Structure 1
Amino acid sequence: LEFAMHNCPGWSSSGGPWITPDKAMQIITWSETKITGGKQVRIQLPTPKHMFDYYIDTYCLAIPANMKVIPRLSILELSNRLDKDGVLTWDVPTGEWLIMRFGQTAKDQKNKSAPSKSTGLDCDKFSTEALDYHLNCMFKRLMPTMEKIAKHSKIGLLIDSYETGDQDWTSDMPAYFEQSHGYELYPFLPVLANKIVESEESTKRFLFDFRRVRADMFAERYYGHFQKRCKEKGIITYTEPYGGNMMEELQVAQQLDINMGEFWCGQTVLWANYKYNRTVKQVASIVHTLGGKVVGAEAFTSEPDADKWLQYPYALKSLGDYMFTRGLSRIYFHRFAHQPHPTAAPGMTMGAWGLHFDRTNTWWKPGKAWIEYLNRCQYIFQSSTFYGDILYHNGDDSFGSTIEPEQTLLAPPEGYDYDMV
């Protein structure tokens, strides 16, 4: 048997009660104060909104208060004139000015879904130190045993589908941004407050660069560092590389060992919802690009009202067959619940979530024929090489969800297959 577990309580993403606000996901926050120039001022600036009594000043900027488009050279950096209590002392030039006090605070984002005693803040995805702290706290008792087993068996850790939202800041964000793009971040901070700097064109270019930095930090410092830590311990990494708007999914997927999509079943799931299942095809494209053979998927997940022991092999076979045509080569059944009682039926569940893939199910023994069929299919696809007809470029601004070509005017002709990059 191979054994893998999620990297924190719940299924998303990397957090717990040990994460303190300084190690949690960070967001930028600001306050605005208008003043009239031509005099010296000593003024208490309002503290921007923040969470958990945690706030750190980052920048203090002055911009002309009456310009719709703000010239970049008119933005003044006043951080060294702001004291630790938020009091600004400044000889104000003539005119009307808007003082913007920027800072960082923790995002109120918790790991989910986990027992209440195991729920806490989710760690900073742009900080390797925060991820290290999380992993050390989570696995301090488990890791010695896992390392021993990993020497002669297969042990894995998973980052499931990402469902804990975006972040837009970390302590060294300005330095990382400047190193990546060759210009300073701070003059464009007003853009994050929905203002236009220099021109609409320049503002759009900055927003693209900012999204690019977020995606790079997310891939390198979260997924990439997770892979590094696990590889040091001989542990295999798994992920469902999608969710949220700050990741480039194809970039994230290349960081870990085994990538998985997902597909759902049940009476409430319409054919249109899974015919163009983007996650399985997306993961297949990455695996093909990297020369791999294992295209995994969380398979046959059922909604709360969809299963109730109503699903059976014949009802599931066509969906599984279709996913094989999308590139699937390894099935991870969602779900199998341990049945400790020798006679209780239908037995233990995982709450409302199916598929009820258990020895207590009425079709368990005759269902062996379906399992043997799935095994043959998986063997064939893991032993084969994919040949596509078309390669789709997903776009330079491909942050967030990838787009299925079938849902566009560029859909492949009937009978042709493709990969995405």
Structure 2
Amino acid sequence: MESPSMDDLECGFVNVPDSVRVACYWYWLSGHISEEGIVKDLQAMRDAGITRAYIGNIGLKGGEYGDVRMFSDEWWRLLRVALKTASDYGIETGIFNCAGWSQSGGPWVTPEKSMRFIRSSSVRLNGGDFWNGIIPEYSDSMQLVKALAYPCEERNPDKSWTIVHNDGQETTLDMCMDDGQKVRSLIIRPSGRVMCHAELLADEEGKFRSIRKFIIDRTNFSTSVGFIPDAPVVISVSETSSDKFRLSLGKPEAIDTTSKITVTLSTEPMVERWPEKSLAKMYQRPDPKWDSYIWPLEPDYGGTDSAAVRSAQVLDVTGSVSDKGELVWKVPDGLWTLSAYYMQSTGMTNSPAPPEATGLEVDKMSRRHVGFHYDSFVGELLRRIPENDRRGLKVVVQDSYETGSQNWTDGMLDSFKVKFNYDPTPFLPVLDGHVVDNEDVSSRFLWDLRRFVADAVADNYVGELTRLSHRDGLTTWLENYGHWGFPGEFLQYGGRADEVSGEFWNKGELGLIENRCASSCGHTYGKKRIWAESCTSGKPAFTNYPGNMKARVDRFFTEGINASLLHVYIHQPYENLNPGMNAWFGTEFNRKNTWFCCMGMFTDYLKRCGFLLQQGMYVADVAYFIGEDTPKMTGPVTDGLPKGYSFDYINSEILMTKADVRNGRLVLPDGMSYRLLVLPEQKTMRPGLLQKILGFAKEGL
């Protein structure tokens, strides 16, 4: 890329081009909307130098709602006024792709178009006879995926105990087993919040021997961090026979004082942490670490044991199930498990949205369903409002991801087989934690499942919204990360959008990883403008102003941010009420704030910084490879990067398809280059990528 001359830089700095914009979220709260307020808001934005506004219709709980219901004739009229007035004032507009700031849903999304997961129900059958009945839990409303049968062994029932983990104290539970029983797994089900270190021990000739040490972490029971909110903690153990076991619970780091913990010792081998590995239970805090979804390679505890399911013995009996769920089947000799696998909605809804605009979240893995969602809202907007009245409408917005995970979609068995070259059908029991063949093979299947989900969310959700937006003359703007239940890979996810954004608050930790997520995506995927949702805040209200926000703004400019979106301009519908509409979130970037009349100085500063930072290429010396595991919201950084040097994260897609080596540097098509490629401390990598990186080394990197 040719560098601009000093004359060009000076001219652009003094007279910043119109293409360099300061944006804001423009929230319409809880039906409180007026035409007079819309016009005055836009006048105030224009005078303050805000030249892009993203309209979000937000519904807050606990407050009184206004008279304007979303999708009413009056709401459509006011939206038309807003888009036309903004166009007349030279303000570009964007629209959130649904009500609320997260994520993509509405009342038009029915369960079969929503985010879904696999659930199952099973019965045990004795062989040698015909079985004539309804498959487990069948109903007309269920979406049957498969009905499978596989041999199983006769085993003793699991034994369970209940313990109360006293607040602030270590606790011990002794558990007696019948002679000869082989314990192969430990299952822990807390009734409330608990986080602590734990250890399972077995009595051997009067002395307890440690079998496993692990962490119990069940601190968030929201469906935003998993579609099975109360999923158990499952630990695989080496086959152990003992009359007595002991569970030692360390001092809790978090606990509900009334929480009871049910502890089960099972003779069945179970896949270690299968709820986490299947996305049923996800990282429970808003700051997932680089390795939050990377697990140690566990020893094979069940590989040679007859208790493990054999993939070669799994029978697909779906073809014999009638459209009423009836199955007539000659059961082979022995004891068999018959399992029915269904798709079920996760139940997640778009939020925080007005009640009339709230509905299920659309399936993020289906182009067809995402297209239906887009047409139901953005498409309806384009049909209702004449093109000349919305000529300034440019952007379809997706805020940070906060709507939890899913792990299945329509036609996924066939798509999975094409992608990974094997049939996933025999491995469906793994989604309930059953070991198929051995634990290593079962965990590999779950790795492929998570990778499939991440790829599908990027391509079929973000990619499809971008494709449809382009078709209609629009672009997409995306925050390429998620604090609650994000199932994707942040670089790939953002790479499918036109523009990406990070985020930072005036105080606290939000921003420490989000902005590097955005800038690394922008640099590696060739995006010129890299935004940050800037200066977000919580309570107390009216305590922030440009002078105490500037340091945080400047900090994240140094991490690659070069465009500013202010959070938040709340629509002011009432002239007789001061200091106006407000909420618990955001700095008061609105005309009712006493210092807003001086905002032009601040936006001039932001624009001049943005102009300079958008020239040339960002200088990053090191590219940190984030690995291929998913989900992923950040990357690894090793200690020792000297001061004065910077870095980007890079993913396998860029390394495989765009990266090259020239003069000892890793080079990308748009001109970005790096002196070093740093690999994470991992023992696994897919063969194709390994060969690619070996090639880089041979070429002098």
Quick one: structure 1 residues 58 and 279, their matched pair in 2 at CA, closer, same or farther if it must change by over 3 Å? same
The match for 1:44 is 134
Tell me whether 1:160 sits opposite 2:395 in the alignment: no
| One-letter code aligned to 2:142 | Y
The match for 1:295 is 530
Q: Aligned match of 1:8 in 98, 104, 111?
A: 98
Question: Larger strand proportion, structure 1 or 2?
Answer: 2
Tell me whether 1:337 sits opposite 2:570 in the alignment: yes
Quick one: structure 1 residues 256 and 140, their matched pair in 2 at CA, closer, same or farther if it must change by over 3 Å? closer
8 Å contact from structure 2 (residues 501, 532) kept in 1: yes
Q: Aligned match of 2:152 in 65, 68, 72?
A: 65
- SS of equivalent residue, structure 1 residue 69: coil
The match for 1:56 is 143
The match for 2:462 is 223
The match for 2:602 is 370
Deviations 1:56-112 (A, max 9, x none): 212111122223322211111111222233333222122111111111122211111
8 Å contact from structure 1 (residues 335, 356) kept in 2: yes
| One-letter code aligned to 1:69 | A
8 Å contact from structure 2 (residues 487, 630) kept in 1: no
The match for 1:202 is 441
Tell me whether 1:412 sits opposite 2:641 in the alignment: yes
The match for 1:310 is 543
Tell me whether 1:185 sits opposite 2:424 in the alignment: yes
| One-letter code aligned to 1:256 | A
Equivalenced residues, count: 406
Tell me whether 1:353 sits opposite 2:585 in the alignment: yes
- SS of equivalent residue, structure 2 residue 569: coil
8 Å contact from structure 1 (residues 147, 233) kept in 2: no
Q: Distance in 1 between matches of 2:636 and 2:352?
A: 29
8 Å contact from structure 1 (residues 64, 74) kept in 2: yes
Tell me whether 1:259 sits opposite 2:500 in the alignment: yes
- SS of equivalent residue, structure 1 residue 70: coil
Q: Distance in 2 between matches of 1:184 and 1:133?
A: 29
8 Å contact from structure 1 (residues 240, 261) kept in 2: yes
Quick one: structure 1 residues 71 and 416, their matched pair in 2 at CA, closer, same or farther if it must change by over 3 Å? same
- SS of equivalent residue, structure 1 residue 158: strand
Q: Distance in 2 between matches of 1:41 and 1:142?
A: 54
Q: Distance in 1 between matches of 2:618 and 2:480?
A: 21
- SS of equivalent residue, structure 1 residue 361: coil
Quick one: structure 1 residues 242 and 170, their matched pair in 2 at CA, closer, same or farther if it must change by over 3 Å? same
Q: Distance in 2 between matches of 1:140 and 1:225?
A: 14
Deviations 1:119-163 (A, max 9, x none): 111111122221122122213441146682599645110111111
Quick one: structure 1 residues 75 and 282, their matched pair in 2 at CA, closer, same or farther if it must change by over 3 Å? same
**Deviates further, 17-26 or 146-155:** 146-155
8 Å contact from structure 1 (residues 250, 286) kept in 2: yes
> How far apart are residue 412 of structure 1 and its match?
2.4
8 Å contact from structure 2 (residues 490, 634) kept in 1: yes
The match for 1:234 is 473
Q: Distance in 1 between matches of 2:459 and 2:529?
A: 23
| One-letter code aligned to 1:399 | P
8 Å contact from structure 2 (residues 147, 318) kept in 1: yes
> How far apart are residue 209 of structure 1 and its match?
1.2
> How far apart are residue 117 of structure 1 and its match?
0.9
Equivalent residues in 2 for 1:72-83 (5 A)?
72-83=311-322
| One-letter code aligned to 2:558 | T
Deviations 1:161-211 (A, max 9, x none): 111111111121001001111111110101111011112221121111111
Q: Distance in 1 between matches of 2:325 and 2:390?
A: 54
- SS of equivalent residue, structure 1 residue 319: helix
- SS of equivalent residue, structure 1 residue 94: coil
Deviations 1:220-244 (A, max 9, x none): 1111111110001110111111123
| One-letter code aligned to 1:331 | S
8 Å contact from structure 1 (residues 147, 234) kept in 2: no
Tell me whether 1:250 sits opposite 2:491 in the alignment: yes
- SS of equivalent residue, structure 2 residue 592: coil
**Deviates further, 16-25 or 335-344:** 335-344
Q: Which runs of 5 or more structure 1 residues have no equivalent in the other structure?
A: none
Q: Distance in 1 between matches of 2:429 and 2:565?
A: 46
| One-letter code aligned to 2:148 | L
Tell me whether 1:128 sits opposite 2:367 in the alignment: yes
The higher-RCO structure (CA 8 Å, 6+ apart) is: 2
Q: Distance in 1 between matches of 2:345 and 2:562?
A: 40
Q: Distance in 1 between matches of 2:533 and 2:389?
A: 23
Q: Aligned match of 2:631 in 373, 387, 399?
A: 399
Q: Distance in 1 between matches of 2:382 and 2:521?
A: 30
> How far apart are residue 312 of structure 1 and its match?
1.4
- SS of equivalent residue, structure 2 residue 342: strand
Q: Distance in 2 between matches of 1:290 and 1:60?
A: 43
8 Å contact from structure 1 (residues 146, 155) kept in 2: no
Equivalent residues in 2 for 1:379-390 (5 A)?
379-390=611-622
Q: Distance in 2 between matches of 1:149 and 1:208?
A: 49
- SS of equivalent residue, structure 1 residue 310: coil
> How far apart are residue 322 of structure 1 and its match?
0.6
8 Å contact from structure 2 (residues 624, 636) kept in 1: no
Tell me whether 1:31 sits opposite 2:121 in the alignment: yes
| One-letter code aligned to 2:328 | T
8 Å contact from structure 1 (residues 278, 404) kept in 2: no
> How far apart are residue 415 of structure 1 and its match?
2.1
8 Å contact from structure 1 (residues 151, 234) kept in 2: no
Q: Distance in 2 between matches of 1:31 and 1:180?
A: 28
Deviations 1:10-62 (A, max 9, x none): 111111111112211222111010111122222333216x9xx7312121111
> How far apart are residue 384 of structure 1 and its match?
3.4
Question: Larger helix proportion, structure 1 or 2?
Answer: 1
Deviations 1:311-358 (A, max 9, x none): 112211111111111111111000112345557532232x22220112
Q: Distance in 1 between matches of 2:362 and 2:430?
A: 26
Q: Which runs of 5 or more structure 2 residues have no equivalent in the other structure?
A: 1-90, 154-305, 651-701
- SS of equivalent residue, structure 2 residue 423: coil
Quick one: structure 1 residues 300 and 402, their matched pair in 2 at CA, closer, same or farther if it must change by over 3 Å? same
Q: Distance in 2 between matches of 1:293 and 1:403?
A: 22
Q: Distance in 2 between matches of 1:99 and 1:2?
A: 58
Quick one: structure 1 residues 380 and 154, their matched pair in 2 at CA, closer, same or farther if it must change by over 3 Å? farther
The match for 1:211 is 450
Quick one: structure 1 residues 39 and 411, their matched pair in 2 at CA, closer, same or farther if it must change by over 3 Å? farther
8 Å contact from structure 1 (residues 17, 121) kept in 2: yes
| One-letter code aligned to 1:2 | E
Tell me whether 1:283 sits opposite 2:518 in the alignment: yes
Q: Distance in 2 between matches of 1:311 and 1:108?
A: 37
Tell me whether 1:92 sits opposite 2:327 in the alignment: no
Q: TM-score, normalised by structure 2?
A: 0.55
> How far apart are residue 245 of structure 1 and its match?
3.9
